[in-house]
Chain A
Amino acid sequence: MAQEELREALREIVAEIAEIDEVPDDKPFKDLGIDSMMAIEIVAEVERRYKLKIPEQELEQIRDLNSVVSMVSSKLGK
């Protein structure tokens, strides 16, 4: 999967869980109304979709879409 394709797929996951239309790349999740429970829901869905394991200590790194893309990319070896 190309990087841009991955980014759009992750954007869609975030938008669906947060029930929002726009997910800018670098807007902090907290400014989008995404609370810590939604963040864990996003992680759970990403794990399920891409068959990844994201450890507890890495959850705090998730601040915006860019950080999610970066984390998933590195785990997928992209």
Chain B
Amino acid sequence: MRIPEGVYVAKLALRVGYADTDRAQVVHHSTYLRYLEAARVEYLRSRGFDFRAMELEQGLSLAVVEANVRYRAGARFDDLLELRTWVGEASRAKLRFDSLVLRGEEIMTSAHITVCCVKIPEARLVSMPAALIAYAPAR
């Protein structure tokens, strides 16, 4: 997976914690889902979108409906990772975040995470806010 030309890319640096690893001393596969969640929130923050306010004030949240993660190499305790995240697809129905997890220039993991928008009180799926659809990559 490559970062498409011209897309906005958010970067997040993370240091692998001891509790992030497993008995094989590499980052556990489930840990990447937490890393990727942090990367999505950072993406929104870096674009000036207040995710917390969306939840608290509008009662809307983003629910993961599909996670496609490809594990390429094992990161280890104390490694410094950089997550690069961009929006690969955005529509009224869903938003797909694409991410690369790098150690230096080495790609450790690549992922596509698709989210939909949910009205929290009723747990009902609703249309994606226009402000988020606007992050769709130019065609």
Contact A41 B126 (CB under 8 A): no
The minimal Cβ–Cβ distance linking A56 to chain B, given in whole angstroms, is: 6
A44 adjacent to chain B (CB < 8 Å): yes
- Verify if A37 is at the interface (C-beta below 8 Å from B): yes
Q: Is the CB of B93 within 8 A of A44?
A: yes
Which 6 A-B pairs rank lowest in CB-CB distance, beginning with the nearest?
A40-B93, A44-B92, A36-B125, A41-B93, A37-B116, A37-B93
Instruction: Note all chain A residues with C-beta closer than 8 A to B127.
Output: 40, 56, 59
Residues of B within 8 A of A (CB): 65, 91-94, 116, 124-127
Q: How far is the CA of A41 from the CA of B96 in the complex (A)?
A: 14
- Give the residues in chain B near A40, CB-CB below 8 Å: 92-93, 116, 125, 127
Is A37 in contact with B125, judged by CB distance below 8 angstroms? yes
How near does chain A come to B90, taking the closest CB pair, in angstroms? 11
**Closest CB in chain A relative to B56 CB, distance in Å:** 20
Expressed in whole angstroms, the minimum distance between the Cβ of A72 and any Cβ of chain B is 16
Taking the closest CB of chain A, its distance from the CB of B134, in whole angstroms, is 15
Please determine whether A56 and B93 come into contact, CB atoms closer than 8 angstroms: no
Q: Which residues of A contact B91 (CB under 8 A)?
A: 41, 44
Contacts of A56 in B (CB 8 A): 126-127
* Interface residue A43 (Cβ < 8 Å from any Cβ of B): yes
Known: A37-B65, A37-B116. A43 touches B92 (CB 8 A): yes
Minimum distance in angstroms from B126 CB to a CB of chain A:
6
Task: List 22 A–B pairs whose Cβ atoms lie within 8 Å, in order of A's numbering.
Answer: A36-B124, A36-B125, A37-B93, A37-B94, A37-B116, A37-B125, A38-B93, A40-B93, A40-B125, A41-B91, A41-B92, A41-B93, A41-B94, A43-B92, A44-B91, A44-B92, A44-B93, A47-B92, A56-B126, A56-B127, A59-B126, A59-B127
Question: B residues within 8 A CB of A59?
Answer: 126-127
What is the CB-to-nearest-CB distance from B97 to chain A, in angstroms, rounded to a whole number? 16
Residues of the B chain whose Cβ atoms lie less than 8 Å from the Cβ of A36: 124-125
